[in-house]
Amino acid sequence: MKILVGIKRVVDANIKVRIKADNSAVDVEKLKMVVNPFCEIAIEEALRLKESGVATEVVAVSIGSDSCHEQLRTALALGADRVIHVATDEVVQPLAVAKLFNAVVEKEKPGLVLFGKQSIDGDNNQSGQMLAALSGMAQGTFASEISIEGDEIMVTREVDSGLQKVALKLPAVVTADLRLNEPRYVSLPNLMKAKRKPIESISVAELGIDITPRLSTVTVLNPPERSAGEKVANVAELVEKLKSEGAL
């Protein structure tokens, strides 16, 4: 079985981003960029399925400018067999991401598609579900455990009320939640080796997909600031303060 994994280049989660002076966008210039943490979990799961003999090939795909080669090389260094770069310098919103991936799915015909549940920049949590819709596949979102059983995949989903287990017909789209696994680290020698491996590139035009954004950004502003309050000396003072505010 071939597994297709979607990966996105995002600002490192530990960086507090700043907004551009003209309030048009978040300023990501010169910031440390990484593979979106949930996409890392998706890659890891694909690699584990390959290592356990369930999958035969892991193909990582990323959409964006040439700068996302860096993240694709990380995927190669982690153990992906091939990587595909869908090249565009335009803004690609989730619906367009899903359409582009759908075109790649038609070419590659994977047995399983793994995404992260959301990217930590846009926080949209849409692309996996949208790809599943467009490709007519079943979807297992917020996955914390998966296993392939015959022509189905069992997915344990972390939902608001607890855990839900569903069986999905393959091929399916699964989006990774935090606890699906703990991703491995990239080793430096592997990263060096990955630099010599090829990156397949395909343009949006070649895929014939209209990626015109449906949503336009009017402004990007700072959220209302919350300022630090006071320090209390002990528990008794804390309880007294909270009582006087009517919070207890």
Partner 1 sequence: MSILVIAEHNNEELQAATANTLTAAKMLAEKTGSEISLLVSGGNCSAVAEAASAIPGIAQVLLADSPALEKQLPENFAPYLVELVKEKAFTYIIAPSTTHGKNILPRAAALLDVAQISDITEIVDADTFIRPIYAGNAMQTLKSSDAIKAMTVRTSAFDPADLTGGSCSVEKLGDAADAGLSRFISEEVVQSDRPELSNARIIVSGGRGMQSGDNFEMLEKVADKLGAAVGASRAAVDAGYVPNDMQVGQTGKIVAPDLYIAVGISGAIQHLAGMKDSKIIVAINKDEDAPIFNVADYGLVADLFDAVPELESQL
Among 4, 5, 7, 11, interactor with partner 1 by CB under 8 A: 11
Q: How far is the CB of 222 from partner 1 (least distance, A)?
A: 7
Q: Pull the structure tokens for residue 96.
A: 């367009």
Distance CA 217, CA 24 (A): 7
Name, in order, each residue with C-beta under 8 angstroms of 127's C-beta and a sequence gap of 6 or more: 6, 94, 97, 98, 101, 115, 119
Nearer to partner 1 by C-beta: 81 or 142?
Answer: 142
Nearer to partner 1 by C-beta: 53 or 227?
Answer: 227
Tokens 């209302």 sit on residue: 224
Note whether 201 binds partner 1 by CB under 8 A.
no
Q: How far is the CB of 62 from partner 1 (least distance, A)?
A: 20
Secondary structure (3-state) at 151: coil
Judged by CB under 8 A, how many residues of this single chain contact partner 1? 82
Nearer to partner 1 by C-beta: 72 or 101?
Answer: 101
Distances (CA, A) of 85 to 65, 152, 223: 9, 29, 34
Neighbours of 3 (CB within 10 A): 28
Q: How far is the CB of 197 from partner 1 (least distance, A)?
A: 31
Q: Pick the stretch among 13-21, 68-76, 81-89, 190-198 that binds partner 1 (CB under 8 A).
A: 13-21
Q: How far is the CB of 169 from partner 1 (least distance, A)?
A: 5
Mark 213-242 with x for binding to partner 1 (rule: CB under 8 A) and - for no binding: xxxxxxxxxxx--xxxxxxx-xxx-xx-xx
121-180 residues near partner 1, rule: CB under 8 A = 121-134, 136-139, 141-142, 144, 154, 157-169, 172, 177-179
Distance CA 156, CA 96 (A): 28
Note whether 50 binds partner 1 by CB under 8 A.
no
Q: How far is the CB of 226 from partner 1 (least distance, A)?
A: 5
Distance CA 134, CA 63 (A): 17
Q: Which residues are 174's β-sheet partners?
A: 114, 140
Mark 75-104 with x for binding to partner 1 (rule: CB under 8 A) and - for no binding: ------------------xxx--x------
Cβ(197)–Cβ(216) under 8 Å?
Answer: no
Note whether 192 binds partner 1 by CB under 8 A.
no
Q: Which residues are 203's β-sheet partners?
A: 87
